[in-house]
Amino acid sequence: MKIEDVPQDLKYFKNTIIRDVTYAVDDKGNYRSVLSDGWSVKNDALDVTLDDINEECESIRQRVLAGETSPLEYHAAKNFMGIDLLSDYTGISKRTIRKHFDPNVFSTLDEKTLNRYADVLRISIDELTSIPE
């Protein structure tokens, strides 16, 4: 692909400082890195992925409303964090996080533990302990 052909399809990067780095051939035939504002094909793939994630989050939200899991599982999923990643960022063991997905256990967590989760998920404790209607 030539530099002038690098896609600039704004969708996900609109009004952000984020850009993709793409490699393209300059007029001398050398590869150079070029900033791209997105590519429709990649945007379509992201749409499919985000739809899947949103469906999973809605399923988890329904489970929270039914009292089957805690809001922690919902907020972790909304932030693209599985148990492994959440454990890495919080320093809380995977086994303990699984226990915290139990709504009865989650309701007994102290403020320090809730703060650890809230900080990593970049939300307040009030947001962490509830879910959107």
Contact assessment for residue 92 and residue 116, using Cβ atoms and an 8 Å cutoff:
yes
| CATH 1.10.260, applies to 42-128 | yes
Q: How big is the chain by its Cα radius of gyration, in Å? A: 20
- For residue 13, what pLDDT band results from cuts at 50, 70 and 90? low
pTM: 0.74
Helix, coil or strand: residue 50: helix
Query: Residue 38's CB: how many other CB atoms inside 10 A?
Result: 19
Q: In the chain, pLDDT over 70 holds for what percent of residues?
A: 95
Least confident of 9-13, 48-52, 121-125: 9-13
Least confident of 42-46, 74-78, 98-102: 42-46
* Residue 41 structure tokens: 């094909």
Q: In the chain, pLDDT over 90 holds for what percent of residues?
A: 62
Q: Where are the domains of the chain?
A: 3-38, 42-128
Question: Taking all residues of the chain, what is their mean pLDDT, rounded to a whole number?
Answer: 90
- Indicate the helix (H) or strand (E) that contains 49: helix 40-65
